[in-house]
Amino acid sequence: MIIQQEKEVLLKFIREEGCKYVDIDLVDSAINFAAKAHENQLRASGEPYITHPIAVATLLVELRLDQSSIIAALLHDVVENSDCSLETISENFGQKIAELVDGVTKLSRIAVANQSENARQVENLRKLFLALSKDVRVLLIKLADRLHNMRTINFFASEKKRIRIAQETMDIYASLAERIGLHKFKTELQNLAFAQLHPTIYESIVNRLTFLRDNGSINIEAMISTLTDLLIKHGLKAKIIGREKSAYSIWKKMEAKTVSFEQLSDIVAFRIVPDNIEDCYKVLGILHTTYRAIPGSFNDYISMPKPNSYKSLHTVILGPQQHCAEIQIRTTEMEEVAELGLAAHWTYKQGSEYDENFLKHRQWIEQLQEILKNTGGPTEVLENTRREIEYNQIFCFTPKGEVIALPKFATAIDFAFALHSEIGLHCMGVKINNKLCPLQMHIVSGDQVEILTSTTETAEEYWLDIAVTGKARHHINQFLNTKKQDDFISRGKSLISKAFEKIGIKYDESIIMKTLEALKKNTVSDLFEAIGKKELHPGDVLREISKNNPNKSYRKHLSKLLEKHVGKSEASTPRNDTEDLGRLLEGKEVCFAKCCYPVPGDEIVAVEVSQQREVVHAINCKKLGDKLHPIRWGEDSQKVYTGCLEVTIFDTAGALSGVVQRITDVGVDILNLKITRRQNNFADIRIEVQTRGVTQLQNILTLLNSSSNVYSAKGFEEGPNP
C-alpha cells in the first residue's frame, strides 16, 4: 500500500512538472521493477527500501531532468542490493540506463574486503569519475542519492558511522555540488553534514535565528516590501526573494571574520530577479544610491562568470533600520543556472547537443581522473581530490586576458600548473601585475600573472609547501617521486658495483638477475632501488650469488671476503637517532619544538614524549601529538628564548648584510641564519634570534618590513599554506 502511494505521488509530480520528455508508463514499469528487486528489504528507518529510490527520482524531477536520469535513479541500488544484473537492466530499459546505473553503483564490498575505509572510498571515487567522463548525469543521480541519505541519516544508530558519512559529504559531495553549480543541493548537504559534525554549534545557531525571528529582528517580508516599493518608484519590476542564511553559512562567516553570532550583521540574503541584464545594473545603481554599500562587498559575476557558469551581481547594503543585507541580482535564466547549475542544461536543452558551458564541467572531471589514476596512497588521493574539487574563489588573468580561476591562498605555482603541467614543472619565476614576485606570494582576484619558465629549471620539493591545488600537488609529487626513484636506482647500482669491486668479482647484471626471486624483486631496477633506499644491503645480493655457486670452497672464501669488506645488512639494523632533549625543568626533560618556535606570548601546549620528557609546542603547531596538555608561561617567560623569522629579500648586493645589521642594531643576537632557497631575483632566509617573546619579535618584523632590501618578513610558519 505504501509503495503504491509513493508511486502515485511521483507519477503525479512528473505530470504536474510538465516533464514532456518523460514516458510515464516506462517510469511506472521502472518503479515496479525496483520494488520487486528490493522486496522485503528495509531501510534503517524501518520503511520499505523502495521509498529511497523513489525519493531520489523525485529530487531529479524537481531538477526537471530527463527520462534516463529519472529511471536510472529508480534503479540505482538494484544491482548493489539484489541479484539483478546490469544485463537484465539493459534488456528491460536499454544500454544507456544500464550505464548510468553502473556509474552510480558502488564497488562490491566483497571485492574490496581487505581494504581500509580510505582505500575503499578512493576506489569508489575512481569508478564514479570514470563514469562521469562518459556521462555527467551520473553525478546528478549520485548527489540526489546522497542528499536523501543525509536527510535520513539520524536513523543510523552508530554515531561513528554518521560522522564518517557526514565528513565525506562535506568534503566530497557538497564540494562537487558547488563545483557544478547545483546550489540547491550544496546548501542542504552542507547544513545536514554540519548538524552531524558540530551538533552543539548547529543547534545554538538555529536557536538564535529562531529567537531573532520571534522577536521581530528578522523581518524578511518587510524588507521585500520596502525593496519592491523602491523599484516601482523607479519604474522597475522584479521578483524579490528573501531567506535566512543557513546555519553552516553563518558559522563559516563567523569563522572567517573571527566574530561571534551577535557581531554578524548580514544573516539574511535577498535575490532580486529583473527581466533582463540591463535592469540588473539599474537595480544595483538604485540600491547603491539609496542605501550605503559595504566597502569590498561588490562582485560582478555577470561580466566575469564563475567557472560553473554562475552569473549574478553581489553587494551588501546597510538597509532600513541599519540592518545589513546581502543582495544578489540576476535574471530568471541566471537564477535557474544559479540554483540548478549543470542540471539546468537539461532544463533548457532537452535532447540537444551539449553546449560550451556544459563541456567546461568535463575538463575538471578529466583532471580529477588523472589525479585518481596516478597519485599514490589513499590518503594522498583523497587530499588531492578534495583540493581539486574545492570551489574556486579567486579570478586572475594571463597577459592575454584569459581568466584563470583558483582557490584562495593559491600561489604562482598553482597558476602555472593551471595553465599546463609542463609550464608548472619548468616555472622559474613570476610577474604579478608586471612586477617580479616570489613564487610563494598569494594571488588575489584581479591580478595579472605572467609565468617565467626555463628549460633547465624543474620542480623542487619545497613547492609542495606553497602549492594548494590538487592538480599542482599531484604533478609535483609525480615528478619528485620519479626523480627520487631514478636517484635511488643510480645510487643502488653504484653501491652494488663498488661491493663487487671490493671483493674482486667482475660486475655482471646477468648474475644479479639470478638473485631476484630469492630477494623478492621483479626487475634489476627494483633491486637497485631497494639498495639505494637502504631496504637491502649490497651484501644481501652478494650472499645470494655466493649461495648459487656450486663450489663449496669458493663459497667459504667469498663469505670471508663479504664479512671483511662488505659487512652485515644495514637494512635490518635499526637506527637510533638521538635528539637534543633540552634542559631539565620541574623534574622532567623539556625542550622547545623547532617546528613552531614557541616564545612567551604564544599559547602553548606540552606534548608528552615519555614519562621523563615533554616538548613545548605553540598551540597551532601542525605537528602536535596525541598526549598533550595545555600549559602556560611562568617565571621562565622572563628568560631568553629562540624565535624564528622568515624573510624574503631582493637578491642584490648588500641586502643580506642590511637585514643582519637591522637586527643587531636593536640589540638582538642572531643564533643562526640560513638561506633556504633562491629563486628569480629573490632569496628566502630563516633567521633564529634570541628573544624575550612575541612583542620583541613583532618589533623586529616591523623594522625589517620597512627596509627597502626586504620584500616580506613574518614569523616562522611550519608546514604548507592552508
- What is the CATH number for 252? 3.30.460.10
Residue 388 counted as domain residue: no
**Crossing angle of helices 183-197 and 199-214, rounded to 10°:** 110
Is the same domain home to 218 and 308? yes
Residue 397 counted as domain residue: no
Is the same domain home to 624 and 497? no
Residues 103/83, Cβ–Cβ less than 8 Å = no
Is the same domain home to 139 and 257? no
Is the same domain home to 158 and 213? no
Alpha helices by DSSP H, listed for 198-326, are: 199-214, 220-233, 247-257, 277-290
Is the same domain home to 513 and 627? no
Is the same domain home to 49 and 87? yes
pLDDT above 70 for 263: no
- The confidence score (pLDDT) of residue 385 equals 64
- The confidence score (pLDDT) of residue 365 equals 66
- The confidence score (pLDDT) of residue 587 equals 52
Is the same domain home to 194 and 250? no
- 650: helix, coil or strand? strand
Of the candidates 106, 117, 139, 96, the one whose C-alpha atom is nearest the C-alpha of residue 364 is 139
pLDDT above 80 for 584: no
Residues 445/301, Cβ–Cβ less than 8 Å = no
Distances, alpha carbon 564 to alpha carbons 211, 405, 443, 512, in Å: 83, 62, 59, 21
Q: In total, how many domains does the chain have?
A: 4
In a 13 Å sphere around the CA of 312, the CA atoms on its Cβ side amount to 22
Stretch among 250-254, 325-329, 372-376 having the lowest mean pLDDT: 372-376
pLDDT above 70 for 659: yes
Cα separation, 607 vs 49, whole angstroms: 49
- The confidence score (pLDDT) of residue 722 equals 33
Cell of 536: 637491502
The conformational region for residue 64 under phi > 0 = left, psi -120 to 50 = alpha, else beta, is left
Is the same domain home to 159 and 15? yes
pLDDT above 70 for 473: yes
Cα separation, 499 vs 541, whole angstroms: 10
Residue finishing a domain among 316, 348, 380: 348
pLDDT band of 93, cuts 50, 70, 90: very high
Stretch among 125-134, 500-509, 548-557 having the lowest mean pLDDT: 548-557
Torsion 308-178-246-255 (CA) sign = negative
> Rounded mean pLDDT of 471-486?
85
pLDDT above 90 for 128: no
Residue 501 counted as domain residue: yes
Residues 481/455, Cβ–Cβ less than 8 Å = no
Cα separation, 239 vs 331, whole angstroms: 10
- The confidence score (pLDDT) of residue 98 equals 93
Domain residues for the domain of 659 are 590-715
Residue 428 counted as domain residue: no
Residue 556 counted as domain residue: yes
> Rounded mean pLDDT of 31-49?
92
pLDDT above 70 for 354: no
- The confidence score (pLDDT) of residue 671 equals 87
Residue 722 counted as domain residue: no
Cα separation, 293 vs 315, whole angstroms: 7
- 240: helix, coil or strand? strand
pLDDT above 90 for 583: no
pLDDT in tens, 627-636: 666 677 665 4
**In this predicted model, which residue has the larger pLDDT, 333 or 136?**
333
pLDDT in tens, 495-538: 888 888 777 777 888 888 888 888 888 898 998 888 888 788 88
Cα separation, 267 vs 248, whole angstroms: 11
Residue finishing a domain among 147, 181, 201: 201
Is the same domain home to 312 and 212? yes
Is the same domain home to 98 and 63? yes
**Sheet of strand 613-618: strand arrangement:** 583-585, 588-592, 613-618, 604-608, 628-631
Q: What is the DSSP letter of 129?
A: H
> Rounded mean pLDDT of 573-593?
46
pLDDT above 70 for 113: no
pLDDT band of 588, cuts 50, 70, 90: low
Residue 398 counted as domain residue: no
pLDDT in tens, 291-323: 999 888 898 999 888 877 789 999 999 877 777
Is the same domain home to 187 and 211? no
> What are the strands, taking DSSP E only, across 655-697?
670-679, 682-691
- The confidence score (pLDDT) of residue 585 equals 46
Residue 118 phi/psi, 5° resolution? -60, -45
Helix (H) or strand (E) holding 243: strand 239-244
Q: CB-based contacts of 338: which residues, under 8 Å, 6+ apart?
A: 181, 183, 310, 311, 312, 328, 330
- The confidence score (pLDDT) of residue 351 equals 44
pLDDT above 60 for 486: yes
Is the same domain home to 192 and 213? no
- The confidence score (pLDDT) of residue 678 equals 80
Residue finishing a domain among 313, 348, 383: 348
